[in-house]
Structure formats: C-alpha cells, structure tokens
Chain A
Amino acid sequence: MRRFVKYYTALAMLFMLFVTGMQAEAQAVAGESGGAFFNGLAKFWENSGFSNFDIRQLVMIIIGLVLIHLAIKFKYEPLLLVPIGTGLIIGNIPLPVSDAAIGIKDEGSVLYYLYFGVGEGVYPSLIFLGIGAMTDFSSLISNPKLMLLGAAAQIGIFATFIGAVLLGFEIHEAGAIAIIGGADGPTAIFASSNLAPHLLGSIAIAAYSYMALVPVIQPPIMRLLTKKRERIIKMPPPRAVSKTEKVLFPLIGLMLTAFISPGSLPLLGMLFFGNLLKESGVTDRLAETARTSMVDIVTILLGLTVGASTSAAMFLTVGSIKIFLLGAVSFGIATAGGVIFAKAMNLFLSKEKKINPLIGAAGVSAVPASSRVVQTEGQKADPSNHLLMHAMAPNVSGVIGSAVAAGMMLSFLM
C-alpha cells in the first residue's frame, strides 16, 4: 500500500508539472508569433483535458484508481468496484466548454443515455429481477419466523434517517441517505434517484463500499453482542419445501407487499417476478438469462454510469464525508439490531427451537456476503456448525424489508 501511495504521489506531481509547464509555454508561443499554426496549437491546447484540468478532478481520478486497486488486489466486490472506479475516471476527465455532447450531463451524449437507466430507476429494478431469478427462498419458506430478523435489521435505515436530519441534511436527502442502512446498493440507488439525485454518486459509492466491507464491519459487532454459548447453538435443519410452496411464494409475496407498500413495487415486483421465472419450472431460459447475461449487462452499465456521474464538485464536499460517516454507523446499528432481536426471540423459544443469534446479523440485505460472514463466525465458535442456510432466510427477508422501507420513504417524501 505504501508503494502504491508513493507511485501515485510521484505520478500526480509529474502530471502537475507537465500541465503548468505546457500551459505557460503554449500561451507564450501563441502570443509571440501569432501565427496560424501556433494559434491552432493553442486552440487544440484549450480543448484538451490538460487545459481544463482542475485539481479536484485529479483527486477523483485517484479515488477511481484506488477503487480499481482494491477490487483487483484485495478482491473487494470486484464486479462493482471495477466499473465504478473506471466510471469515476471517465466522469472526471476535464472536458472543454463546447457544443459537443460528450459528458454524462450533456444531453445527446452516449453516457447521458446510458445514465438514463440510473436516473429513472431502471437498472435497480432489472438487478432485482436478476436477484429474484438467482435466489433460493426455500430456507425462508421453511422457517418463516426468521423473517423477523430481516425486519429488525431495518432499524439501520430509520436510525440513519434521524441521524441524517440531525447532521443537517434536508428531509429528502435524509430519506435517500437512510437507505444505505439497508446495505442494499440497488435500493439505495433507486431511492436516491427519486429523492436526492444530486447525492446519488456519494450514496451509491458509500453503499457499495460498506457492502464490500461487510466481512470487516460485522464480525466485531457480532462477537461483542453474543456469548460463546450462544454462538455455538445448533439449529435444526430446515425442512424440505414442496414445489407448490415455492411457486406460491413469489405470487403471495408480490401481492402482499405491493398492496401494503406500493412504492416498493418497481423493486419487489421485479424480485418476485424473477423468482417466479426460476421456480415455475417452465421458464428456465428466461430465468437463466435474467440471472446471468442480463444482470451482468445491467451491473456493468449501472457501475460505470454511477461512477461517471460522480463529479468532483458533487463528491468532494463535507456532505459526502457525513454520508460516509452515517453509512458506517448505520451498518453497525443494522447488524446490532438483528443480533439483539435474535437474542430477544430466544427468550420466547423452547430449548430445541432456539436460534443462533449470529444469524441476526444477516438481516442486513447484503446477499450473500453477510450470510457468509455468519457462517464463518459460527464455524469459529464450533467448526461443525453450519449456519449458512439458516442465515440466508433473514438475508433475503432483509432485501424485502429494505425495499419496503424504501417504498415507505418514497410514499412519505415524494
């Protein structure tokens, strides 16, 4: 890391020297001779990225490079951080003031049209379709009471909402920032594009960064709130679920959630539709496309355009620092909320039906990262204990819960 910082500092200094030197030289030459050739050269220089360069853009480009470095070197959410990092570089290349439509904000440019999917909430919905087509809800159907943990962890969203208002954000902005507490990238982007489009870049980067850091943030909180004897609780294996139940699940879920919280329809409608494609057994081709090619294409476009839309002027602000701070706190609160609620549930359950409180941490909707964290932590306490399947139930119900919470925010604030 030290070598990495050293290289980039040296590169930045060289770049600065080059820019200032070239700018002075071109102006001097054009002024002295006044010839057409040098005027042309000066014009070219004015239109180049070096001439329109701002130091803040360099900072953004470095942030993009750091994200790419984290993704490649440490494999932190590479499928998202590589497109977002590249997008940050693309979006912060200094552009000349001209009529040419190049940048993401210039109507008619390619990036402008690609960004349409983010601005209008198209990509998050399509990602939910893919998630629905790739998720097996059978652990949730076999033990529905674990859904309560998914609901409990949503306290992160509402605590962040209050925190954001306390930190001086406007009510719509606070609503958008709050969704980071759900640990759900597409939902955060969806809510932000509707409530506070100007904060979309900061919110998306904060949400995805913390999702990548789930294995770092969650374990200390889980260990702090549980005792060893609780961490070794073995849960009975989930029962086998019939095909009829699996087919009925998305249909009932869709109607129930949409009637209660219509604001969540674009997300949950697609999630349950994707799951119906998977479980119906007659639309395998559609389900296969939704969970592979389609979700990959949308992820590429979403990551790239979210990165490209994050300009220095919007991102390098005190507000962004506050958003990152709130994100970290909300993740902690959501994890703690799930674990504490699981412990509270155990007070009412018989000895053989007790749940391992670690799975409460999976109530945040970072699927399947937080389930994996639960499995790892469970195995640290007892290597023969497998919690992955049990943790998937609160994990997927967390996705439903955060989408409902986002729908509620939209209903209140739009």
Chain B
Amino acid sequence: MNFLIDLANWDWSDIFVITAVGYSVVFAVLILLIIVYKLMPKVLNLQLKRRLKKEGREITAKSDEEYVPGEVNAAVATALHLYFNQQHDEESNIITIKRVERTYSPWSSKIYNMNNARHYQP
C-alpha cells in the first residue's frame, strides 16, 4: 500500500518526507477534529433556537449562559444529595434502653463455659 517511497532503495530525503508528511497528517487530523467539535455545539444550539422560535417561546439565555460550568453542576448535585440524605421520618427524640429477654439455652450458658473447668470436682 506504500506510496511515494521506494522501500528497497530509500535515501534520507524519503525519511524526511515520511517525517514531514506523517507529522503534518497528525496535526491535520486533530485540527479538523478541533474545527468540527468547535462547530458542533453551535450547530446544536442553532437547531434548539429554531425549534424554540417555532414554538413561540422566547430565548432569554445569552450564549455564555447556555452552558453551566462543571463546578456549578457539582455544587447543585452535592446540595441535592445532602438535602435528600437529611430527609428522615418524624422521631420522638426520646432515647430508651429496652431490656432484652433471652430464653435459656445450654449452648450459651455460662455454667458450661470452659473457664469453669477449674471448679469441677469429680
């Protein structure tokens, strides 16, 4: 698939051609991507504005206000999270200690504990 270069008998000019063309293409691809991604939000906004105009709604936001910075989003999300986490049921505010009744079982009995072996007299 190679083009330009005679790979069997290359010389230094070929090396510089590969370097110059290769590096330029890398730049060209990324510059094209930059142009496309710069234009993309503008095109998307254009459509949005057109739709809103059709619906008869007023466009009040300026172009700078259309995008909320990430920090503002994070602050709003944190505030909502904290708010929803603070939602509790109504409580009586009276703290009590309830006595727990346990039915007797030899499995948990202190009488049969290993430490009691010293009291055992045959």
Query: Chain A, 153-185, contact with B by CB distance < 8 Å: what is the 0/1 string?
Result: 011011001100100000110010000000000
- Chain A residue nearest to B16 (CB atoms) is A162
On B, residues with C-beta under 8 Å from A are 1-5, 7, 10, 14-15, 18-19, 21-23, 25-34, 36-38, 40-41, 44, 67-71, 73
Bound-state Cα–Cα, A236 to B71, Å: 10
Q: Which residues of A contact B69 (CB under 8 A)?
A: 236-240
Could you tell me if B26 and A252 are in contact, using CB atoms closer than 8 angstroms? no
Could you tell me if A256 and B26 are in contact, using CB atoms closer than 8 angstroms? no
B41's partner among A238, A245, A400, A413 (CB-CB below 8 A) is: A245
Chain A residues bordering chain B, tally (CB within 8 A): 48
Q: Which residues of B contact A154 (CB under 8 A)?
A: 23, 26
Could you tell me if A141 and B1 are in contact, using CB atoms closer than 8 angstroms? no
Whether A51 sits at the interface, judged by CB under 8 Å, is no
Bound-state Cα–Cα, A71 to B32, Å: 40
Bound-state Cα–Cα, A252 to B40, Å: 10
Could you tell me if B67 and A401 are in contact, using CB atoms closer than 8 angstroms? no
Q: Which residues of A contact B32 (CB under 8 A)?
A: 256, 260
Q: Which residues of B contact A249 (CB under 8 A)?
A: 37
B-side binding surface: helix, strand, loop or mixed? helix
CB of A227, distance to nearest CB on chain B (Å): 27
Could you tell me if B2 and A158 are in contact, using CB atoms closer than 8 angstroms? no
Q: Which residues of A contact B73 (CB under 8 A)?
A: 240
CB of B21, distance to nearest CB on chain A (Å): 7
Known: A237-B70, A240-B68, A413-B2. A145 touches B41 (CB 8 A): no
Bound-state Cα–Cα, A158 to B22, Å: 8
Bound-state Cα–Cα, A261 to B68, Å: 36
On A, residues with C-beta under 8 Å from B are 140-141, 144-145, 147-148, 150-151, 154-155, 157-158, 161-162, 165, 171-172, 175, 236-240, 242, 244-245, 248-249, 252-253, 256-257, 260-261, 263, 389, 397, 400-401, 404-405, 408-414
CB of B109, distance to nearest CB on chain A (Å): 50
Provide a sorted-by-A list of 16 A–B residue pairs whose CB atoms are within 8 angstroms: A140-B37, A147-B33, A154-B26, A158-B19, A158-B22, A162-B19, A165-B15, A238-B69, A239-B70, A240-B70, A249-B37, A252-B36, A252-B37, A256-B29, A257-B29, A413-B18
Known: A147-B34, A256-B32. A245 touches B44 (CB 8 A): yes
- Chain A residue nearest to B69 (CB atoms) is A237
CB of B94, distance to nearest CB on chain A (Å): 46
Known: A239-B70, A411-B1, A412-B4. A171 touches B10 (CB 8 A): yes
CB of B27, distance to nearest CB on chain A (Å): 5
CB of B69, distance to nearest CB on chain A (Å): 5
A238-B70, A240-B73, A242-B44 known; 6 new pairs, CB 8 Å cut-off, are A147-B33, A162-B19, A175-B18, A237-B69, A256-B32, A260-B25
Bound-state Cα–Cα, A238 to B68, Å: 10
Could you tell me if B36 and A408 are in contact, using CB atoms closer than 8 angstroms? no
3 tightest Cβ-Cβ pairs between the two chains A and B: A144-B37, A239-B67, A408-B22
Could you tell me if B36 and A256 are in contact, using CB atoms closer than 8 angstroms? yes
Could you tell me if A253 and B68 are in contact, using CB atoms closer than 8 angstroms? no
